[in-house]
Chain A
Amino acid sequence: MAEISENPVPPGDADALVVADNVHKRFGRLEVLRGIDLTVKRGEVMCVIGPSGSGKSTFLRCINHLEKLSAGRLWVNGELMGYRQKGGRLYELRDHEIAAQRRDIGMVFQRFNLFPHLSVLGNVIEAPVQVKRVPRAQATEKAMELLEKVGLPDKADAYPEQLSGGQQQRVAIARALAMEPSLMLFDEPTSALDPELVGEVLDVMRDLAEGGMTMVVVTHEMGFAREVGDSLVFMDEGVVVESGDPRDVLTDPGHERTQAFLSKVL
């Protein structure tokens, strides 16, 4: 059962899209997240860095409730994720209600996770048609625009296995965008790519950021964090050790653990 902190903090700041309040996550006896507090503003690009196993992926998955919090609360767009609050009590949401909350949040995975039995176009229109009940013709038109945007208009009829890793990841981004989310989560989107393919995916993400999309990006690409990120969060052992302007954190880390980590990856 989820232990939820006593006093629910409503997401006061109208500018805040994501509010995490003392988020904890345990897997059995292993406490992976040990009290994460942070706010992502509308239009902000937040990059999250940290050593392997520090809980970055887990936190990202808590945001869209792929993982259930063990304690704490998390709001996206003013909605408490996974629960309904009524009369000072929390009620777990039903499967279809959680699904509805997730529609507003796009997610891009390290290993792409495209649907192999569907064509590229099929991947992109699947959720709009099946979930939002957008007419197929309209969804297709929108999908072609998105494929254009990620530079793959001629791959609509291809199947995922026929694409390079970079192309697959760009399709995955288009697929997430097709639901017109107000928040995009990226979990190391370029880590599984050959070095020469990293650039094409980062370019798409940069365009997206310039278009005003709110993004939380777990990444090892410090160049991207520095140039595109509005804020940088350094996580270690399930807590936020340090956060701030990426240029400040990267050039002049205030914490010993950040320094140690950066000296290894830079």
Chain B
Amino acid sequence: MSSPNEPAGGPEKVQTPDPDRSAGPITAVPVRYPERWVAAGFILLLAAMFVHMLFTNDAFNWPFMFGNMFSEPVVRGVWVTLSATLLSMAIGIVLGIVLAVMRLSGNPVLVSVSWLYTWFFRGVPRLVLAVLFGNLAILYATIEFGVPFDTYIMAAFGLEGDLRFFSIDARTLLSGYTAGLLALSLSEGAYMAEIIRAGLQSVDKGQTEAAQALGMSRAKVLWRITLPQAMRVVIPPTGNETIAMLKDTALLAYVPVTIELFYQLKAIGTQSYQVFPMLVAACLWYLVITSVLMVGQYFIERRFNPSQNSVRNRVVGGAH
């Protein structure tokens, strides 16, 4: 489509524009939309009522909220929540890549293992997983590294004893935070596996063939050609996952992890009988962190669309 002040016919046509023909901008009365003004007025009225309520209803108790929103345990809770989000996403993505590659490997053993994993961790609710992992220490009081079935093997050779090299108290290893992180990461791995698998499958088969024809091994093809191209498809849903994960860190409270953000805010609210202001504080904190994560996603997306962004030359320059 040509803009109104461009000569009729456009510059690329061979036709020479007729100088006598009018090519001035179109002057027409645009269509009016009165219903938009009505709707806007109505919404403005509702907004005014809402703001009025925010300031006059004592339940909000703003001074109390701002006074406690930045208190030391809450700020620490923010960091715990943020670190749990990023760590469990990082572990989840790595797991997801491994599971997706296994799923597409064509090796029946790997395919089944990957399928089973996804089946389990997508099937069990995260809340249940969080509580379950919080109680894993019941299953193994100590975690030991050594030869599997060692006591049987030793017995078979007529010996007594075991082949265990070192052991850790499970309650130390599976402290609340670690257990919760593990639950979230393992669960995330299952979702990321599906996202990454879809991404890998979206890459044209010709890409793999071209790379193989150049003499790249399968691992090289995956790492240098297929995965980077899958990223474009993988990043947007991964952004969703990250934000969902941020909110799911509230489940850590059930492990229990008491230093986590929501737990801290709720605790302050309950102790001081000021529940509502602290719930509002929770909303505000989660919104702030989500916004920060969204900015991060914007930059990551730009990084993996090199041909479509304006800093192209810098990216290429960096690759020299």
Interface residues in chain A, defined as those with a beta carbon under 8 Å from any beta carbon in chain B: 64, 66, 95-96, 99-100, 102-103, 105-107, 109, 111, 113-117, 119, 121-122, 126-127, 130-131, 136, 140, 157, 159-162, 172, 175-176, 179
Contact = CB atoms under 8 A, between A and B. Distances in A.
Nearest to B213: A107
B304 A99 contact: no
A103 B306 contact: no
B164 interface: no
A94 B19 CA distance: 72
A239 B225 CA distance: 35
A237 B36 CA distance: 68
Contacts of B229: 115-117
B319 A102 contact: no
B306 A159 contact: yes
Contacts of A111: 206
Contacts, number: 81
B216 A130 contact: yes
B151 interface: no
A66 B213 contact: yes
B215 interface: yes
A115 B217 contact: no
Given A117-B228, A136-B320, A159-B306, A179 B214 contact: yes
7 contacts: A95-B218, A99-B212, A121-B316, A122-B316, A122-B319, A126-B224, A176-B214
Contacts of A175: 214
Given A109-B206, A109-B209, A113-B206, A103 B225 contact: no
B218 A113 contact: no
Contacts of B211: 115
B291 interface: no
B319 A131 contact: no
Given A115-B207, A179-B215, 4 more contacts: A116-B229, A117-B228, A159-B307, A160-B307
Contacts of B218: 95, 99
Contact of B215 (A100, A159, A160, A172): A100
A140 B216 contact: no
B312 A131 contact: no
Chain B residues touching A, range: 20 to 34
Given A116-B307, A159-B306, A127 B316 contact: no
A106 B213 contact: yes
Interface in B298-312: 304, 306-307, 312
Contacts of B207: 113, 115
Contacts of B209: 66, 109, 113
B44 interface: no
Nearest to B319: A122
A103 B215 contact: yes
Nearest to A128: B214
Nearest to A156: B316
Given A116-B307, A122-B316, A140-B320, A95 B217 contact: yes
Contacts of B244: none
A176 B214 CA distance: 7
A99 B216 contact: yes
Interface string B213-249: 1111110100011001100000000000000000000
A56 B204 CA distance: 22
Interface string B278-320: 0000000000000000000000000010110000110010011
B214 A127 contact: yes
A99 B213 CA distance: 8
B23 interface: no
A162 B225 CA distance: 19
Contacts of B213: 64, 66, 102, 105-107, 176
Contact of B220 (A64, A115, A131, A159): A131
In the complex, the 3 A-B pairs of residues with the closest C-beta atoms, listed nearest first: A103-B215, A159-B307, A113-B210
A179 B211 CA distance: 12
A117 B211 CA distance: 13
Contact of B216 (A66, A114, A131, A162): A131
A157 B313 contact: yes
